Amino acid sequence: MKKQRLLLLFGGLLIMIMMTACKDSKIPENRTKKEYQAEQNFKSYFKYISDKNNYLDNIKVYYFSISISKDVQDKVSETTTCSYRLEKQKNQEFIGNFEHEVSESSQYSTEVKNQIQYPIQYKDNSIRFTEKTPSERYDEFVFSSFDSSLLKKYKIYYYLLKHPETELKGVSYKIPINSEIVAPFIKQLNIKNPKKSSISVTKTGSKEYYYTISIDTDSEIYSIFEGITLEDVKEFSK
């Protein structure tokens, strides 16, 4: 009788273990089921982030910017933004504009203090200024990649699995300041004493994706933004 009970007990435990393994085999230990599902919405986008050169043929519009915000007075901040906007032409070349903007924001309003545009093109994997060249720019980050698999080990602090009225989806991660994802920006932007950083990936429609990296110090906030509009969703999802 004891032997039969032991066999039944071990059999039940084995079934429970097998059921648990089948249920959660794909879900990492550091993810809930919904967090994992939210990340699956970005499988193709994560591949793009890791190797953008393989996806250039499928990008219709590309946008990249770096913004630096700091307090200049009580409740008044100044933001300097360098942005690149490129659009694919019929000859498969990207042309567009680089913009340097300085704005000032208070609690109730934002005023653009200075704004200059420069025509650009993206050719042979580099930005080319067709007229004047600005002194402050970040060409090396345009279409640059990073290893998106690193995100798998970072904590998710927010996700939007499905919006009730739109196609909006998103996942946000806390990133260590020594992460390989933010290290190039900290070095190139000469960021002193970074305190915290994060990254959010967002899907606003069937063809629009973007990410935002935020790096905070005691006195400044650095925001890195990259967005794309696709030509062919099916090709992107392969």
Q: What is the pLDDT of residues 182-195, one digit of tens each?
A: 999 999 999 999 99
Q: Options 3.40.47.10, 2.50.20.40, 3.30.2350.10, 3.40.50.880; which CATH number does 30-236 get? A: 2.50.20.40
Residue 100 has pLDDT above 70, yes or no: yes
Residue 226 has pLDDT above 70, yes or no: yes
Pairing label, strands 208-216, 76-88 = unpaired
Average pLDDT over residues 166-188: 95
Rounded Cα gap, residues 233 and 44, in angstroms: 10
Is 213 exposed, middle or buried (CB count within 10 Å of its CB: 0-12, 13-18, 19+)? buried
DSSP state of 125: T
Lowest-confidence region among 16-20, 131-135, 209-213, 214-218 = 16-20
pLDDT for the residue 215: 98
For residues 143 and 122, the answer to whether their CB atoms sit within 8 Å is yes
Q: What is the pLDDT of residues 9-26, one digit of tens each?
A: 455 555 554 555 544 668
What six digits make up the tokens of 83? 């942005």
Kindly state the helix (H) or strand (E) to which residue 148 belongs, with its residue range: none
pLDDT for the residue 7: 47
Q: How far is the CA of 208 from the CAs of 32, 61, 87, 116, 169, in angstroms?
A: 26, 9, 14, 27, 11
Residue 107 has pLDDT above 90, yes or no: no
Lowest-confidence region among 62-71, 106-115, 140-149, 200-209 = 106-115
Domain ranges of the chain: 30-236
Report the share of the chain in percent with pLDDT over 70: 89
